Amino acid sequence: MRRRRLLLASLSIAVASACASESSDGPTTATGTPPGASAAGTPLPCDVSLALTRCHDCHSSPTKYGAPMSLVTYEDLVRDAPSTPGVSTLQRALERMKSTTDPMPPVPRERASFKEYGPLDAWLERGFPPGDAAEKCAPAAPDAGVVTPACEPDLVVRAESAYSLPEGTADVYVCYGLDVPATAGKRQVTAIAPRVDDTAVVHHIVVFQADKTESPKPHKCKDIFPIDWKAIYAWAPGGPPFVMPEEAGLPMQEGGPTHLVVQVHYSNLKHEAGHVDRTGVDLCTTDAPRKYDADILWVGGFDFAVPPHKTATVECKFDWGQNWTKYLPLQVVQSWPHMHQLGRKLTTDLVRADGSQTPLGHADPFSFFDQAAYPVDVTVSNGDKFVTRCTWENTTDKTVTWGEETSQEMCFNLLTYYPRIPLPQFSGPAASYLSDCKMQP
């Protein structure tokens, strides 16, 4: 059986930590910037530099993935935070590292541990003393969680031309489409990986299969998440490439071209000029079909309403019932929680017949601006049911309900699974219509 592998050895963007914009929300401690902030070339203590290792994948010099400032030098840490004058960048970084609602690094990466923020706390308490210029710091150990399988792409998805980010634009979603020609027989996607061009401004990537043709030229997206498009891959910094198990693959269109749409979110909080980008994705495919077709199962629901200036939660249950148990067991291999800008938390659990629960993607906290897919490995058996809970904080003056616009809301978890169920009830968001959704007290 001929298998193709995606070459990721040159993809340095499969980094160890996710990145997010520096938020001005949340409490601050205005103790001011300490003396010595303007002294050039001041060495950092080794334990401080080591504690910031994961931060450097985005907050490097120069910065990457839309990060607004570097966290590399002594001067970087003691100067005022971009969002909070009078508060040092180190203080602001510590607040984010400890935050339960706006953490750094953001999900799906593991939260900062005491091993990381403890040395920074101690250094802050000591008053930011410089390090010993003669001390040589040991290099950080490589992150064992970074997935870099050997690869060779056979399908390269790129825009027809590069996109020039307009000067002064801080945030924009850009889309482009590509027709993948039909082959004589069946074809499956076995792996997908990002190919980031301008790492300074690319924030995240989503890949869709769509029936409607999208222009191959990069353009501002009409919709952020059309429900008639099938989302097959979502990447944010720190996320691994998506590699299907050996026995399964995502089927492409038979008898006609498969239309793929790539959506790139650009974050340019520094309002820099001159950013030109042609980010895309690389795919592995096979024309020697694997045993199982995979598909995307949407769990969640549509029946909810969030009152103005209130926090509200909906719980949606999907029970297999007797009609579909013949299609079990299923294997779930990826989870992608999706809400809009008011979303604060989304969890899906597989509740077993004995009452035990297995997580199927917990975006807690959820951030619209830091969405990513989660690798999972869970078997769904007879008697199991999906329970999805979505929590929103409505900061507007209107009741918010379901809708495709970003001013409206969604409650979906897109689960990649196999074997594919050949029923219309399990295509796209149709299964979510079958869920029993109730607002929680």
- 132 and 169 inside one domain: no
At 381, list the tokens.
Answer: 């058996």
- Look at residue 331 in the predicted model and tell me its pLDDT: 97
In a domain, 147, yes or no: no
Q: Answer with the one of 292, 308, 331 that is the final residue of a domain.
A: 292
Strands 330-338 and 412-418, bridge-based pairing? antiparallel
Q: List Cα–Cα distances, 40 to 18, 75, 121, 379, 432, in angstroms.
A: 29, 7, 23, 56, 57
- 285 and 351 inside one domain: no
Residues of the chain scoring pLDDT < 50: 1-40, 144-150
- 389 and 350 inside one domain: yes
In a domain, 12, yes or no: no
Q: Are 191 and 243 in contact (CB under 8 A)?
A: yes
Q: Which residues, including other chains, have CB under 8 Å from residue 125's CB and lie 6 or more apart?
A: none
- Look at residue 437 in the predicted model and tell me its pLDDT: 96
In a domain, 148, yes or no: no
pLDDT tens-digit series, residues 228-263 = 898 899 888 877 788 999 999 999 987 778 999 999
Rounded CA separation 223/174 (Å): 10
In a domain, 1, yes or no: no
Q: Are 345 and 391 in contact (CB under 8 A)?
A: yes
- 171 and 66 inside one domain: no
- 131 and 56 inside one domain: yes
Helix axes 89-98, 114-125, angle to 10 degrees: 150
Rounded CA separation 316/389 (Å): 6
- Look at residue 404 in the predicted model and tell me its pLDDT: 86
- Look at residue 140 in the predicted model and tell me its pLDDT: 67
- 306 and 433 inside one domain: yes
Q: Answer with the one of 270, 292, 314 that is the final residue of a domain.
A: 292
CATH number of 301's domain: 2.60.120.230
pLDDT tens-digit series, residues 109-132 = 777 877 787 888 888 888 888 888
- 327 and 245 inside one domain: no
Whether this prediction's pTM lies above 0.75 is answered by no
- Look at residue 8 in the predicted model and tell me its pLDDT: 33
343: domain range? 294-439
In a domain, 150, yes or no: no
In a domain, 109, yes or no: yes
- 425 and 359 inside one domain: yes
Q: Look at the chain and report how many structural domains it folds into.
A: 3
- 308 and 283 inside one domain: no
Q: Answer with the one of 107, 142, 177 that is the final residue of a domain.
A: 142
- 279 and 365 inside one domain: no
Q: Are 341 and 406 in contact (CB under 8 A)?
A: yes
CATH number of 272's domain: 2.60.120.310
Residue that has been written with the tokens 């078997």 in this structure: 379
- Look at residue 161 in the predicted model and tell me its pLDDT: 95
Report the 3 state secondary structure along the chain.
CCCCCCCCCCCCCCCCCCCCCCCCCCCCCCCCCCCCCCCCCCCCCHHHHHHCCHHHHCCCCCCCCCCCCCCCCHHHHHCEECCEEEEEHHHHHHHHHHCCCCCCCCCCCCCCCHHHHHHHHHHHHCCCCCCCCCCCCCCCCCCCCCCCCCCCCCEEECCCCCEECCCCCCEEEEEEEEEECCCCCCCEEEEEEEECCCCCCEEEEEEEECCCCCCCCCEECCCCCCCCCEEEEEECCCCCCEECCCCEEEECCCCCCEEEEEEEEEECCCCCCCCEECCEEEEEEECCCCCEECEEEEEECCCCEECCCCEEEEEEEEECCCCCHHHCCEEEEEEEEECCCCEEEEEEEEECCCCCEEEEEEECCCCCCCCCCEEEEEEECCCCEEEEEEEEECCCCCCEEECCCCCCECCEEEEEEECCCCCHHHCCCHHHHCCEEEECC
Q: Are 177 and 261 in contact (CB under 8 A)?
A: yes
In a domain, 8, yes or no: no
- 136 and 176 inside one domain: no
In a domain, 4, yes or no: no
- 122 and 178 inside one domain: no
Rounded CA separation 392/401 (Å): 11
